[in-house]
């Protein structure tokens, strides 16, 4: 699955900001860094939401908060973007860092993707988080308070901080992707696509068509989620003519 290329182009900006931010010590990530981090990892969060039914907005908010938008010691040294500790069942690489107590064991990953996937599995496999999966996928506030109440973090204002990140960066718009049914759309019109207010650099669906982010006259297009997500698949025996009206 691929997200719109206009989101992916933010990766260069994110890397530049990471270089600049490394020259000074900060307690919290500046808003712009958090914004670009959200755009950079939106595709990963959406994939996790589709696979594990965790709101993409909550995933990104936790990653932004826990990793200081990718600038924390754990994020840089171990690709750990969620502050997950080793626990008894962990058999992978580790890294030691002072946290609530001295010399605590944290998980170390080969890639940031592995960190995101392990975070999803961490929530999915523990009974104390099971009630969260009964919430609506768009209930990001319920998820944030549920994570705090279930003991994910000891910080008293953890839920409020996550909600602030989500609402400041409009991350809740990503959660609407799960509400669109998968299927092959034949000869659908532009107005039939569910609209989303989650925009980057003032893009529109018309611009997306011009930039070939929404494809015209392509065969076998699968509309998987919001108007920025398109996946193509091949079947030689099917010849679909998909038209988009401007």
The share of the chain scoring above pLDDT 70, in percent, equals: 59
- Specify the DSSP class assigned to residue 39: H
Reported as a single tens digit per residue, the pLDDT across 30-83 is 566 899 999 999 999 999 999 999 999 999 999 999 999 999 999 999 999 999
Higher model confidence: residue 144 or residue 212?
144
Range with top average pLDDT, 57-66, 204-213, 228-237: 57-66
- Burial of residue 20 (CB within 10 Å: 0-12, 13-18, 19+) is exposed
Please say which residue of 134, 163, 179 terminates a domain: 179
Range of 73's domain? 2-179
Residues 12 and 122 both lie in one domain: yes
- Specify the DSSP class assigned to residue 130: G
**pLDDT bucket at 204, cuts 50 / 70 / 90:** low
Residues 165 and 197 both lie in one domain: no
Give me the CATH number covering residue 130.
Answer: 1.10.530.10
∠ Cα 8 9 13 (to 5°): 115
What's CA 183's distance to the chain center, in Å?
23
**pLDDT bucket at 88, cuts 50 / 70 / 90:** confident
Please say which residue of 159, 179, 199 terminates a domain: 179
How many residues does the structure list for the chain? 246
Q: What's the pTM value of the predicted model, to 2 decimals?
A: 0.65
CA gyration radius for the chain? 19
Residues 110 and 185 both lie in one domain: no
């Amino acid at each position: 699955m691929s997200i719109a290329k206009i989101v992916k182009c933010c990766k260069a900006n994110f890397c530049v900001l990471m270089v600049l931010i490394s020259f000074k010590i900060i307690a919290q990530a500046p808003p712009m860094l958090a914004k670009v981090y959200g755009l950079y990892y939106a595709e990963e969060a959406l994939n996790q939401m589709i696979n594990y039914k965790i709101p993409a907005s909550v995933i990104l908010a936790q990653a932004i908060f826990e990793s200081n938008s990718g600038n924390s010691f754990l994020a840089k040294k171990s690709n750990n973007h969620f502050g997950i500790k080793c626990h008894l069942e962990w058999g992978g690489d580790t890294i030691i860092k002072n946290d609530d107590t001295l010399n605590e064991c944290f998980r170390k990953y080969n890639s940031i993707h592995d960190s995101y996937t392990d975070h999803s599995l961490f929530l999915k496999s523990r009974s104390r988080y099971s009630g969260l999966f009964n919430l609506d996928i768009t209930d990001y506030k319920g998820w944030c308070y549920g994570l705090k109440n279930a003991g994910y973090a000891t910080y008293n204002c953890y839920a409020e901080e996550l909600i602030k990140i989500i609402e400041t960066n409009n991350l809740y718009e990503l959660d609407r992707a799960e509400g669109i049914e998968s299927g092959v759309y034949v000869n659908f019109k532009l107005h039939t696509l569910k609209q989303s207010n989650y925009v980057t650099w003032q893009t529109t669906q018309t611009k997306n068509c011009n930039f070939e982010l929404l494809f015209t006259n392509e065969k076998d297009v699968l509309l998987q989620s919001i108007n920025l997500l398109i996946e193509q698949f091949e079947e030689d025996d099917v010849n679909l003519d998909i038209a988009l009206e401007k």
